[in-house]
Amino acid sequence: MSTQIRPAPVRKSIFVDAPQAHAFEVFTDGIGRWWPKTHKIGGSDLDKPVIEPRAGGRWYQLSADGSECEVGKVLEWNPPARVLLAWQLTADWTYDPDLITEVEVTFAPEGSGTRVDLEHRHLERIGERADTMREAIDSPNGWGLLLRLYSEASAE
Amino acid sequence: MANAARVFAALNDPTRRAVLERLRAGPKPVGEIARGLPVTRPAVSQHLKVLKEAGLVDDRSQGTRRIYQIDPNGLGALRAWLDQFWSDALNAFAAEAERAEKKEKE
């Protein structure tokens, strides 16, 4: 089918009652302290994501056994106002070095705290490389993937 | 806006799954989708509305007809899932940032 539905970026905004530099530091350096446990790629409670604090730095998942799984990388590093990350996971959560979706996070002082805006964009690129997802959806157990994703999302 | 709960509520119905199955072969008008299904055409229209609100199908006008199509890559579901994921993640982030900030002040 030639028709491609282009998904809108996912946009989220949240107010954090903490100074801008602190919010930036917790988001990046402290990502292992808040990343939802249910979404850790390795699946173990001891796994934690790491963002290397510089442009070109790696974003990876560190497992308890010392092994590392790539998630993406730091495209632009502008503390304390902004970080642009590459999310390089396919629909079935495997790393694909040729896939780049962007997660831009901005931190703006607002009153006594910080407004944090997040945009995850170019999601259609996941579709372009979503052979595995297409197979999963087309297979006899196709709805299994969606239901699995749902149970993960609702297990929060 | 689509969210994961809405997507899966939409999928949790055998008729709506049957409708999606039919659309996998390509875009179709309501009449063609309804043919052979054990429900009335207005009921199919209602199911299509739910699927559309969940971001699983899209529609366009062709003359006086409305043509429905599925996103072949399942991106509606993926996007809904990411939408929910980032909501959860940002809430967890804000809680941690505020907790750590309080601790430093003490």
- Please tell me which of the candidates B69, B75, B98 has its beta carbon nearest to residue A16: B98
Short-list A23, A122, A154, CA closest to A82: A23
**pLDDT value of position A144:** 46
**Domain carrying residue B22:** 4-105
Residue contact A127–B75, C-beta within 8 A: yes
Q: For residue A119, give every residue at least 6 positions away whose Cβ sits within 8 Å of its Cβ, in sequence order, or none.
A: A9, A10, A11, A12, A102, A103, A104
**pLDDT value of position A128:** 64
Domain containing B44 — which CATH number? Answer: 1.10.10.10
Report yes or no: A73 and A90 within 8 Å, Cβ to Cβ.
Answer: no
Model confidence pLDDT, tens digit, residues A104-133? 999 999 999 999 999 999 887 876 655 544
ipTM higher than the 0.85 cut: no
Comparing alpha-carbon positions, the chain B residue that sits nearest to A143 is: B11
Question: Looking at chain A from residue 39 to 58, which residues have their Cβ under 8 Å from any Cβ of chain B?
Answer: 39
**pLDDT value of position A153:** 42
| Number of domain units in chain B | 1
Domain ranges of chain A: 12-125
Comparing alpha-carbon positions, the chain A residue that sits nearest to B17 is: A143
For residue A16, list chain B residues with Cβ-Cβ distance below 8 A.
Answer: 93-94, 97-98
Name the CATH topology of A12-125: Alpha-D-Glucose-1,6-Bisphosphate; Chain A, domain 4 (3.30.530)
pLDDT score of A49 more than 80: yes
pLDDT score of B105 more than 80: no
pLDDT category, B96, cuts 50, 70, 90? very high
What's chain B's average pLDDT?
A: 82
Mean pLDDT on A56-81: 92
Contacts of A58-64 spanning 24+ positions with Cβ under 8 A: A59/A85, A59/A86, A62/A32
Q: Is any Cβ of chain B less than 8 angstroms from the Cβ of A34?
A: yes
CA distances from A70 to A63, B13, B52 (A): 11, 37, 35
**pLDDT value of position B16:** 87
Residue contact A154–B101, C-beta within 8 A: no
Mutate to test the interface with A, among B78, B101, B103 (most CBs of A within 10 A): B78
